Amino acid sequence: LPRSYSLSLHLHLQFLLLDGGEAPECSTGILAHGIMNCSISGEVPEEPVVSKKSGLLFEKRLIERHISEYGKCPITGEPLSMDDIVPIKTGKIVKPRPVQAASIPGMLGMFQIEWDGLMLSNFALEQQLHTARQELSHALYQHDAACRVIARLKKERDEARSLLAQAERQIPLSVPTATSVNASALSNGKRGAADEDMGTDGKKIRLGISASIIAELTDCNAALSQQRKKRQIPPTLAPIDAVERYTQLFSYPLHKTSKPGILAVDILYSKDIIATGGADTSAVLFDRPSGEILSTLSGHSKKVTSIKFVDQGDLVVTGSADKTVRLWQASENGNYDCRHILKDHTAEVQAVTIHATNNYFVTASLDNTWCFYDISSGLCLTQVEDASGSGGYTSAAFHPDGLILGTGTSEALVKIWDVKSQANVARFDGHIGGVTAISFSENGYFLATAAHDGVKLWDLRKLRNFRTFTPYDENTPTQSEEFERSRMRDRDVQCAFLFPSIIFVPW
C-alpha cells in the first residue's frame, strides 16, 4: 500500500485497541480518503499525533503550542490537554514534491514569484529607510533650533541679571529718606522685598515709598478733592422712615457650619457682588441677584479677618489670622487664583484697606506694624512700626482722598498717619477695648470708630470727639461700622454692624 494508506491503517488499528475494537468515524474517513494531513497546517505532519476526543490529526509541535496557549481543540473548540493527545508511530515521511516543481516551466514560475516578492520587500524597506532619514533630519533640525533658543534665553537672562544688579546699585541714590518722628522705628529700605536682606537692626530692608509714588498719591488726592466738592445728594437716597422699615429679605449660608461666623464683608457695588471672609479659613464671592456662589477662595490656614475688592473686582485681597495676606486674580473660567502670598507680618493680620488709585494697599497686624504694598508686584514697599508700643493694630482705613491713613489699636487708641512721610500726625483716645473698625466719611471731614463701648465720631478738623453712639448694652461690642455710600456733602448716615443685626444711625 502507499505510505499514506499504511499510516491510516496503522491509526485505525490503534483506535481499535483504545476504544475496544471500534474505530471512530474520523479515522475511518481518513482511511477511506487516504488523507494524512495536519488539521492545522494542512500539510503532511512529520510527528503526527491524534486527539482522543475528536480523532483529528495534528502536527505535534503545532498542537502542543496551541494547547499551552488556549487549552482547547483548534477545530472543535472542546477543552483539550496533552493527556488527550496520542502520538502515532510512522516511518520517515517524504514530503511529496509540489506540482509546480515537477517541470522546468513550473520551477521558473516559482522562481519568478519569489523574485517578485523579494523586489517588493526591498522596495518597502527602501521607503522605510527614506522615511527614517527624513524623521532623523527633522529631529536634528529641531535639536539645533532648541539649542539656539536656549543660548539666546541664557544670554537675555544674563543681561537682565546685569541690569537688575545695576538698578539695585542705583536705587539708594533715588529713594528719599523718610522724615518722621517715628523714623527710628520704620523699616524703610533701599532694596526690593524679594531680596529678603536684613538690616543692622535685624529688620527686612524695604524699597520705601519713592518720589514717583508720592507724586501719584498727591495727584490722586487733588483729583478726588475736586470731585468731592461737586458731589450732589442722589435723588434715590432713602429717607429715614424708609430705612426704619427695612426687614430681612434673604439669608444665605455661605460658609461651613462646622466653624460658623462671617468676620469680614465687602461689596462690589458696580456688579452687585458680596465678598465674605469666614472663620472656616475661606473667603466666598457671592452674586446677590442670582443668589449663587461665584467662587470660594481657599488657601488660608486660619480664619479670614479681612477681605477687600480691588477696582472692578478682578483682584481680591484677603488677610488672615495665619499672619499672611493673599492676592487673588480672577481667571477666565470665573474662579480666582492665588497670585501672591505675602508673609511680612509676624502676627495676625487684622485689616486690609485699598488705596483710591487701586495700585496700592495697606495691611495692619497685631505685630504693631502696618505695611504699604504695591498691588502689581506684591512687594512691601515699607513696613511702619510705632515706637510708642501702643499695642497691635486691629483696624485700618484710607481717607477718601488717599493721603491719610487711620488705624485702630488693641489698646483703644486711634492713630492718624501721613502716608507720604509715614508720620503719626494725630491720635485719639477714649474708647474702651480694642478698636474693631474705622471708616472716614465721604466728605472727608469726619471719622467713625467702633469698639466695645460703641461708636464714636471724630471731627478731623478740630481733632475731637463730638458724638458717641451706644446702640447695644455694655456686654455687646460693636464689631463693624461704615458710613453710608450716598456721597453726601453736608450729611452722612452711619451704619453700625453687630452680626447678625444692622443699625442705621442718622446724625
pLDDT of residue 489: 37
pLDDT of residue 133: 95
Give the model's confidence band at 92: pLDDT under 50 very low, under 70 low, under 90 confident, else very high: low
pLDDT of residue 434: 87
Identify which has the larger pLDDT, 327 or 14: 327
The distance from CA 101 to its chain's CA centroid, rounded to whole angstroms, is 76
pLDDT of 460-490, one tens digit each?
Answer: 888 888 888 887 777 777 888 887 765 433 3
pLDDT of 259-295, one tens digit each?
Answer: 778 889 999 988 889 999 998 999 999 898 888 888 9
Reading the block at residue 374, the C-alpha cell is 504695591
The distance from CA 282 to its chain's CA centroid, rounded to whole angstroms, is 15
Identify which has the larger pLDDT, 180 or 209: 209
Mean pLDDT of 290-317: 91
* DSSP codes, 424-485: EEEEE---SS---EEEE-TTSSEEEEEETTEEEEEETTTTEEEEEE--S-TTS---EEEE-S
The yes-or-no verdict on residue 370 having pLDDT over 90 is yes
Mean pLDDT of 490-502: 40
Under 8 Å between Cβ of 399 and 405: yes
Burial of residue 435 (number of CB atoms within 10 Å: 0-12, 13-18, 19+): buried
Any idea which of 298-307, 317-326, 406-415, 484-493 has the lowest mean pLDDT? 484-493
The yes-or-no verdict on residue 315 having pLDDT over 90 is yes
pLDDT of residue 185: 35
Give the model's confidence band at 42: pLDDT under 50 very low, under 70 low, under 90 confident, else very high: confident
DSSP alpha helix (H) spans, 199-275: 211-229, 240-244
The set of residues, in sequence order, having a beta carbon less than 8 Å from that of 134 and lying 6+ positions away, is: none
Average confidence score pLDDT of the chain: 80
Name the one residue in this structure whose C-alpha cell is 516511518: 91
Alpha-carbon gap, residue 326 to 349, rounded angstroms: 11
pLDDT of residue 171: 62
Alpha-carbon gap, residue 453 to 441, rounded angstroms: 21
Mean pLDDT of 132-138: 95
The set of residues, in sequence order, having a beta carbon less than 8 Å from that of 218 and lying 6+ positions away, is: 403, 420
Alpha-carbon gap, residue 309 to 325, rounded angstroms: 14
3-18 vs 25-33: helix crossing angle, rounded to 10: 160
Alpha-carbon gap, residue 57 to 51, rounded angstroms: 7
The set of residues, in sequence order, having a beta carbon less than 8 Å from that of 304 and lying 6+ positions away, is: 263, 264, 277, 278, 279, 281, 282, 283, 318, 319, 320
CA distances from 47 to 5, 34, 37, 76, 242 (A): 16, 18, 11, 21, 108
Mean pLDDT of 118-143: 94
The set of residues, in sequence order, having a beta carbon less than 8 Å from that of 422 and lying 6+ positions away, is: 178, 180, 182, 186, 188, 209, 372, 382, 384
pLDDT of 146-165, one tens digit each?
Answer: 999 999 999 999 889 888 87
Q: Which of 326, 311, 362 has its CA nearest to residue 209? A: 362
